[in-house]
Structures are given as C-alpha cells and as structure tokens.
Amino acid sequence: MGDSVNEDISEPNRGWFSSYWGGNNEQHPQERNDNSDNTLENDTNSEHWYQRLYHSMLRYPNQRRFSFKIDESTRYSQLDLEQINYLETEAIDMINSYSNSWCWFEDLSDISENGNTTNWTQRSGVVSVFGTGCGKCPLPLDKSPIEVYPGYHVYVKNSILLPASSPKDYLHPLPMRTKIANTVREHYNYPNEKHLYLKRHLVHPKEIKQLSKKDIIHKRHLIITAVGWLPDKYEKLSLGEQRTAQYLSKKVAQSIKELNKTIDNEIGKEVDHEILSLSFECPLHTKDMDTVLEQCTSLLKHWEDIFYNIDSIYFVGVYHSVPLLIELCHNIIFQHARYGINLNTTALGMLTLDSCLEGYRFWDHSVDRSTYKEEEDNNNNNKNTAFSSANDNENNDSTTTTNDTNNSNGKNVDINGNSKNPIITDQEYLKLEQSKEKQLYYGLNNNEIDLLSKIKNYYNLESDESKHIQKRLDWLLYNCETFRLNLVSTLYDNFMTLTQKLAIDYSHPKITRNIWCDGRFLDIDLQRPESQHVPNFNIKTPDFEFELTIPKERKFEIILLNHLILTQNLGHEEFIPILKLISPYFISRSFNDNTLATTIKKQRANQLKTWLQEMDQHWNNTSDTTTTAHESSETMLPPGVSDVHEFLRYISYQNIKNPDLLQVYGQIYDDDSVYRNFIEISTMTRNPTHRKHMKLLNRISTGPNDTVNSNDSILDTQNQYDLVWKFHEWLCNFIHLRNLPIQDPISNLEVSVRLEPQAEKHLHRSKPVIKDSHIKFERNSEESQRRVKQIWKSYQTWAPQTRGLENLKKILSILGTFPNAQGLIQEVQD
C-alpha cells in the first residue's frame, strides 16, 4: 500500500499524435514527394494536435486507395473517404451494441463562451472504440456518436448541498498554533490534522510575481469521466437514471471555467485555459472490471501526449464505475513519469456520485413476517410479472395513504410501547434478499447477473473486491499530496443508504463528503408555484433564480443531517455510529418513481391527470403553445408567458406533453453546485502537512449480529434502543465541540431556472443574495449549543411522510418531552 513514487519527470514517448498527425522526422513516402504538404506540415508544427488533425484530412484528397488494413501504424491521413465512412459505421454499430468500451475526446475550452444548446450538443471530437478499426486509428467526428436530445434543455436547480455548497463555508486556513501542535502530535504518533484546510492564497504571491512577467499565461486542465452501462430495468430500480460520461465532462468543464475567473482576477492577468476531456463509456454489465480496465488503458494510449505538463486532472464516476475510475486513476498516476505528470504541482481530484464503494443491501424496514410471506406467495404465482408487481404487495411506504400494519401477537412492542409484527429472521431475510434480487435482475442473462451481483460484495469490507479498491485508494491518498476525493450522495433513496454511498468507513483527511437533497422530496413542487409560495415577478428571459423557505415540517431532517455531515468533514469520526444508524430511515420506495407502490402510483396519476386537464385548458387559450420562443432575439419566452409562475407551469406541462420539444433536467448530475464544490475542494485546499495512509474504520453494527446478511431492520427493538442511546451520546459530545463555523440556520433553498446549460451572468434574481464571504470561528462551544437549539426547535414541527422517517420521529420522541431547548441543553451537558 505504500509503494514509492519516482518523481523524475521525463519527456513521454510521443504516441500517435506526433507520428500520426505530423511533428517528427518520419514521414509517409507520399509526404516526402509533396513539397507543398511538407511546407504545410512545417507551418503547423506549432499548432495543437486537434488543429493539425483537420489539416491532415485535407492533405491527401487524391491519394490512391491501398489495402484496407488497420493496425497501430495506420494514420488517419492515409484513409480515403470510403474507408473513413466504413470506420464510422463500424464504430457506431459497436457503440450501439454496448459490447466494448469506447472513448470520446473533446476540447471543451470554449464550452461556456456561447451559451446556446448548439454549442452544448453539436460539438466535434475524436472517437476510439475498442475492438474496431478506430480503436487503433481514432476517428474525428462532427458530433458525438451518442444521440443527444436536440430540443430545448431547461435546467432547474431545486436542491440543497450539505454541509455547504463550498468548502469556504466551513473550512479555514491552518493557524500557526495548530500547525505546531499537529507537528508535535505527529512526532508522538497522536492523531492530528483530521481534515483539510483552505489555502491562504489561491495563487501563491511568488507564483503571481513569476506569472506577471509572462505575456501569455497558459493553463491546461484534463477531465476524465467514466460511466458504466446498466440494463434499463436495473438502472430504473437502483439509480433511477444516469447521464453519459460526455455530459459529466461538460458539467465539470463549465465549473472549471467559472472558478478560473476568480483565480484569474487574483493573478491580475487574463489566463488562457485549455480544457480537454476523455469520456469513457464502459460495458460493466457484460464484462468484468479487469477486462474493461484493460480496454480503457488500451484506448488511453492514443492520448498520452495531452498529459504532459498538465496543470490539473479531474476524475468523475457514478455508482459502479467508481471502482473502475480508481483503478484507471491509479494506473495513470503510478506511471506519471511516462505521462509527463508532475505530482508536486498537478491538482488531482476525484468526484464520485452515489458510489458503490460500500455496496448495498436490501433494507426490510417496511416488511414484516406476514407481508414477507404474502410477497413470497405472490412471487411464486407470478414469476414473470413486471418488476414492480412484487413491490406492490408490500406495506405502503407513505403514511399519507395507508397506515402501518399492526397484526401484532402482543409479544413484541417497540420502544414506545406500540405492538408490532415480529421481525423476520436471518434465514427469512436471505429468502427476502433472493426475492428482491429476482426483481432487480429480471430479464438478465447469467453473465449479467454474475457481474452485477458483485457490486453487493463491496458491502463486505473484507471481500476481495473491497480490499483491492482499498489498496488502490490508499496508494493514491498516501503518495499523491495533491489528490482529493469528494464523495457525494443523494439523501433520499430507495436502494442504498447515504453512508454506503459515501463510503463512511473510509477515513482520511483528504476525503470530503457532501449530501445532495432533492427539493421534490421536501414537499417543494414547482408545478404548483402558488401553493409553494414561490415569489412571482416579471421576467424577460427564462433565466432566473429565487429563494424558497424549506417547509417547517421537513426542516428537522435537513438540520440534523447537516450537523452530522459537517462533523464528518471536520474529522469527528466518533459520530459515525449515529450517522449509520439514522441513514436507513431515509430509504423509501416513494423516492423513486419506478418503485412506487400501486396506491401511491394511482394517487399521483390522478393528481397529474387533473393538473394536465387544467393546463390543457389554460394553454389552449394561448395560441401556438408548442412554440417555445418568440422570433425576436430580445426574449426567449414562449407566447403568453411573462412571469415566474407562468414559466414554471409551462415547462412542467411541456416536459410531460411534448418531451421531444422540451425536457427539464433537475437531478444530482445536473446541479452545477455539485461540480463547483468539487473543483473548489480540489484547488482551494492545502496539502496536509504529513502523509497519511487511509484508515479503515471498524464496521459499526446496525443489527444484533455484525454479519453481512444480518437483520438490520429499523423496526428491530434492539436497533431502536441503540439509536436512542447513540443519539443521546451524540448530543452529549456534540454540544461540547469547539471552533465550529458560525453559520445561519438552514432555512432557505435556492431555486434557479436556466434555458441553457450555463447562463449564470444572465440570471434574473427576485432579490439580491447577500452572503457573508468570511466565515467566523470561535474557540468555544457557543455555536454547538446554538445548533442543538436548532435541532430541538425543528423537531417540534417535524412531520415526515414516509414510514421510515415517521418511525425515526417516534424513536427520537425524547426531544418532544422538553418544554424548551434550554431543558435539552441542561440534560446533555450534565
């Protein structure tokens, strides 16, 4: 785990760029006989490879065809039009078959300079598909081989990122006194420097002085994204949906452009930023990770040149592509000398969205013995039903439509004295797990089932899969001072807990975690802006933002999770047990449209039908409702729309009625704050003073037996008692924390709407957003006491709507026994 790294940086072996597009002394025989071509080549030696690419295409318009054989020595300039067309068809056919990995190279330096959909979707690049001719001879294309939605893209941010949307809101520079104390602790092997600190300067004054002498400052950034394919049904049941690797690359590129404006201002000179991307699409559902890694590294050889003297590299992965991304990152950094990467100066960041680093398990908190047996009988009678049929026989997750089943035999009661059904045994849970897996893997072949089932193995930290990734990740964290890992998880899920997605057992100062909260699951419905108290104001363009108050009935869960994840990013590992015990309560089938129970599905369908009828009548009174923009260049508003409320109703209506014309994007993958926070963590935090290995925390049992298949039901009486005492213990320790960032209580959620992917400067705001740019810290516990008061106050009005959260409210009912917050503080301080 502690392999040494050779810091010598040598000129890399120039790959296909120099020999393929020109730039070396070895020329094709036809090139030597064409003086004009030689002149052109000499004139373009100073150009970038992707600029020389198009000159090469024009160089041989009349060359004769030769035997069509593609190998490593084949150059694109040697191919005629017919052969190019053949390679393109072959590549697209392979991509559509989802059978081999492929890579899309793109220059995203101007991604946000022209804020229009064409600039976002119709972009040229270079494709390389493993197992085809262009796998050996990369092929330039006018646009991505994946069909990109051609209509209007409306980006709606209706979410909040915990503990903050920027590390500047909860971190601070390293004080000299703390630095000295950490050095002493390190000498005596005491814990020290448990979290990251901010840099005092984005750019060091000495570097600014050196850069100011240069006429042109050039910075180079590289984005590497990897997305693993999933069978359609599996994806719907687990993630709901995911985006393409190319899409993720563009979102990161936009945030790089935005952040660099701040850095450029500090330097005082305009900086030329070159942003390149490599987007990998991988068949992780049909091929094992080692095979896919081999394919990706083979494709990566074509782009070795772009790593030379790179200033920053950003890696992004989703769910089961995260282990692959760690392997790919390790492969690149381990050979940093070959690629020409300077580990001392190159910023390295990795962003994971809903990672599988701690696997998953099927939670049974809404299933008792009687309903399990009913489900098993139904599964036996309906083996070929749709994937949602078995779920429909479970207890409803929403307390708004049905109550908990209480066919108790009187022998089992919960901590509140309420009778409940007996919890299923470990053996019965195994049968339940098999039943759930049948739904998840329905329609898949044995190979796909075998590969996808290995994702679950990461749940066991002692499994071969988990140990291998732990070793790779530890190597990166220990040997690369500039490496940062940012794990982001959705809070509300039907499949995995946030502690699993955040790999909470992986401990290291350079690992930060964020929780993304979807406003839709906080009872904020933008389809009905009047009922949500959305501020209404006139707009001239469809780019605006405003603030909404988080409903008081849901504020407690946001405040509680904010405090818990904040303490994790500040290195308080002692609070992990309570976070683990609480996280399963945020699992519900109602948090995924594809897993809704029948009763909720029918209820929502009826509500939607009524709303659509109202909208049909409303928009039919407006001429040409399918027109999304006036012909005038002064406005992009559709006819009959002039204010915020009308526009929100309009896009919701068209997204349902005319999805080919307009689509709304509002998932975790679409939120700019996620990527901006990641870039800031990677570039604005200082390297730890001392190198540290990653620490693997002991798994905290959430059930009576600490085994992978143990019954972790949140309905289990022992688990509920454990949670009560862990919560009390957490409050007793939390209230004494010193030096917490002084922040206002979380009360508002920022909502922004944009017609284009990036239109920050055009946003129309309902009122100016005033933020304190300087976060204060005090070396006392007053802030922690204020936060305990927030917990007590928000609990009094908490009214969750899912079974898990309603049970959590009952378990934490001790908070309702205190007449005021001061009584709670006195209790936990004693």
Task: Give the pLDDT band of residue 346 (cuts 50, 70, 90).
Answer: very high
74, amino acid identity: T
Q: Is residue 59 part of a domain?
A: yes
Query: Is 381 a domain residue?
Result: yes
The rounded mean pLDDT for the chain is 80
* Banded pLDDT at 403 (limits 50, 70, 90): very low
Residue 553 domain-assigned (yes or no): no
Q: How far apart are CA 343 and CA 348, in angstroms?
A: 9
Judge whether residue 562 has pLDDT over 90: yes
CA-nearest of 437, 398, 485 to 685 is 485
507 vs 380, residue with greater confidence = 507
Quick one: pLDDT at residue 5? 45
Highest mean pLDDT (candidates 149-153, 245-249, 710-714): 245-249
pLDDT digits (tens, 9 = 90+) for 56-79: 444 444 334 444 677 777 788 888
Q: Model-level pTM? A: 0.84
- Going by pLDDT thresholds of 50, 70 and 90, the confidence category of residue 8 is very low
Domain containing residue 67: 1-79
Domain assignment present for residue 749? The answer is no
The pLDDT tens digits of the residues spanning 705-744 come to 343 333 455 656 667 778 898 999 999 999 999 999 998 8
Band of pLDDT at residue 358, cut at 50, 70 and 90? very high
pLDDT tens for 116-141 read 555 666 789 999 999 999 999 999 99
Q: What is residue 619's predicted lDDT score, i.e. its pLDDT?
A: 83
Query: 746 near 174, Cβ under 8 Å?
Result: no
Q: CA angle, corner 283, sides to 282 and 287, nearest 5?
A: 125
Cis upstream peptide for 283 (omega within 30°): no
Which residue do the tokens 């024009």 mark? Answer: 58
- Judge whether residue 107 has pLDDT over 70: yes
Contact at 8 Å (CB) between 368 and 424? Answer: yes
CB count in 10 Å sphere of residue 733: 16
Confidence at 549, pLDDT banded by 50, 70, 90: very high
Other Cβ atoms within 10 Å of 476 Cβ, number:
20
Asked whether residue 477 carries a pLDDT value surpassing 70, the answer given is: yes
Contact (Cβ atoms closer than 8 angstroms) between residue 661 and residue 151? yes
pLDDT reading at 194 higher than 60: yes
Separation of alpha carbons 581 and 764, rounded Å: 42
Structure tokens at 32: 């030597």
In this prediction, residue 159 carries a pLDDT of 95
Please check the confidence at residue 209 and state whether its pLDDT lies above 80: no
Q: What are phi and psi of 187, to 5 degrees?
A: -65, -35
421 band by pLDDT with thresholds 50, 70 and 90: very low
Residue in this structure with the two tokens 């998880």, named with its chain if needed = 489
Does 428 reside within a domain?
A: yes
Mean pLDDT of 611-628: 72
pLDDT at 375: 41
Question: Residue 607: is its pLDDT beyond 80?
Answer: yes
Least confident among 161-170, 583-592, 750-759: 750-759
Angle at 488 between CA 111 and CA 355, to 5 degrees: 100
User: DSSP letter string over 364-378?
Assistant: -TT--HHHHHHHHHH
- Structure confidence at residue 720 (pLDDT): 76
Mean pLDDT within 540-554: 91
CA 383-359-317 angle, to 5 degrees, is: 110
Give the mean pLDDT of 261-268: 70
Query: Is the distance from CB of 708 to CB of 430 less than 8 angstroms?
Result: no
Question: CB–CB of 704/716 below 8 Å?
Answer: yes
User: Does any domain span residue 382?
Assistant: yes
φ, ψ (nearest 5 deg) of residue 691: -70, 145
Q: What is the DSSP string of 692-738?
A: ---EEPPPPPSSSS-STTS---TT-HHHHHHHHHHHHHHHHHHTT--
Q: Tell me what pLDDT residue 184 has.
A: 82
Number of domains in the chain: 2
Assign 470 to helix, strand or coil: helix
Average pLDDT over residues 571-594: 92
Among 108-112, 215-219, 588-592, 699-703, the range scoring the smallest mean pLDDT is 699-703
pLDDT of residue 811: 92
For residue 4, tell me if it sits in a domain: yes
Q: What pLDDT, in 10s, does the model give residues 565-582?
A: 999 999 999 999 999 999
Domain-terminating residue out of 426, 453, 480: 453
486 phi and psi angles, rounded to 5 deg: -115, 110
Residue 758: the pLDDT is: 54
What is the reported pLDDT for 181?
82
Q: Are 775 and 743 a contacting pair, CB within 8 Å? A: yes
Chain centroid offset of residue 745 CA: 25
Left (φ > 0), alpha (ψ -120 to 50) or beta: where does 359 sit?
left
- pLDDT beyond 70 at 24: no
Residue 244 included in any domain? no
Please list the alpha-helical segments (H only) found in 570-714: 576-582, 598-620, 644-657, 672-684
Q: Let me know: does 532 contact 548? Beta carbons within 8 Å.
A: yes
The residue ranking higher by pLDDT, 703 or 286, is 286
> Among 79, 96, 131, where does a domain finish?
79
Pairing of strands 483-490, 695-696: unpaired
The pLDDT of residue 821 is 93
Predicted pLDDT of residue 48: 54
CA distances from 712 to 2, 361, 429, 627, 709 (A): 36, 9, 10, 53, 8
Q: pLDDT band at 204, cuts 50/70/90?
A: low
Torsional sign, CA 713, 714, 720, 722: positive
**What pLDDT does residue 30 have?**
36
Is the predicted pLDDT of residue 34 greater than 60, yes or no? Answer: no
User: Tens digit of pLDDT for each residue in 761-781?
Assistant: 445 555 544 455 568 888 889
How far from 719 is each of 365, 557, 577, CA to CA, in Å?
11, 19, 12
Number of Cβ within 10 Å of residue 771's Cβ equals: 8
The C-alpha atoms of residue 317 and residue 678 are separated, in whole angstroms, by 13
Of the listed ranges 314-323, 430-439, 784-793, the least confidently predicted one is 430-439
Which pLDDT does position 390 carry in this prediction?
35
Domain boundary among 437, 453, 469: 453
CB-based contact 562:170 (threshold 8 Å): no
CB 227 within 8 A of CB 354: no
Quote the DSSP letter at residue 308.
Answer: T
Whole-number Å distance between alpha carbons of 110 and 131: 32
What does the pLDDT look like over 170-183, one tens digit per residue? 999 988 888 888 78
Average pLDDT over residues 326-347: 95
| Residue % of the chain over a pLDDT of 70 | 74
Check the CA dihedral 518-807-390-229 and report its sign. Answer: positive
